[in-house]
Amino acid sequence: MTMKKIVLLFVLMMVSSSAFAQLVTTTRVYRERNHNHHLAIDMGIGGYTGDVYDMGLGLDFGLRYNYTINQNIGIDIIKASVQTGTNHFGEALQLQAKTGVRGVSPVLFGQSSLYGNFGIGASYLPDPQEVGVAWEIGAGLNITPRFAVGAAYNSTHVDGVSFGLISFRLSVNLF
């Protein structure tokens, strides 16, 4: 795939997922704010840092299951994600499984709130088949209960090699 196709695919995913944000009604907001578990898709695009070379644009796609303790604190029970670079799209995959905590501010205006998250877990590199430690920190804006934008830093330490991905993040809560 060429770079243009990858960027176009990412933009189309962001635009199509934002359609859900326009469908929120008062009843739905009430039900979602009082629902204590959520399944979400996280998509990120950004740049690599550290001990990696010629990776191109970094892509991150993840699925997250969150359990809400109260209106302001939640636990990301599991977040499974895959990361790669556009220059080595199928060759340089990284699989991660993390758990963590997510904090949400009180409602700021309309339905919007701020969020911050931290997660830690394992990272697996299929080539050269090594396992290491991964952690992530992020912050952003919940535009609606279903749609959020933000930024994240994801760091990986595998067999003496350390690298990270700084990315713009788009999240969509499925339920």
Q: What average pLDDT does range 27-38 have in this prediction?
A: 57
pLDDT at residue number 133: 96
pLDDT at residue number 5: 60
Band of residue 29 on the pLDDT scale cut at 50, 70, 90 = very low
In angstroms, the CA 27 to CA 29 distance is 5
Is the model's pLDDT at 20 over the cut of 50? Answer: no
Name all domains of the chain by residue range, CATH numbers in brackets: 3-173 (2.40.160.20)
Number of Cβ within 10 Å of residue 59's Cβ equals 22
Answer whether 28's CB lies under 8 Å from 146's CB: no
pTM (2 decimals)? 0.76
pLDDT at residue number 9: 60
Is the model's pLDDT at 6 over the cut of 90? Answer: no
Most confident of 22-26, 49-53, 70-74, 140-144: 140-144
In whole angstroms, how large is the CA radius of gyration of the chain? 16
What are 108-144's pLDDT values in tens digits? Answer: 888 899 999 999 999 998 878 899 999 999 999 999 9
What are 54-95's pLDDT values in tens digits? Answer: 788 999 999 999 999 988 999 999 999 999 988 877 777 889
What are 149-174's pLDDT values in tens digits? Answer: 999 999 999 888 899 999 999 999 98
Range with the lowest mean pLDDT among 2-11, 14-23, 66-75? 14-23
Number of H helices, E strands in the chain: 2, 8
pLDDT at residue number 2: 59
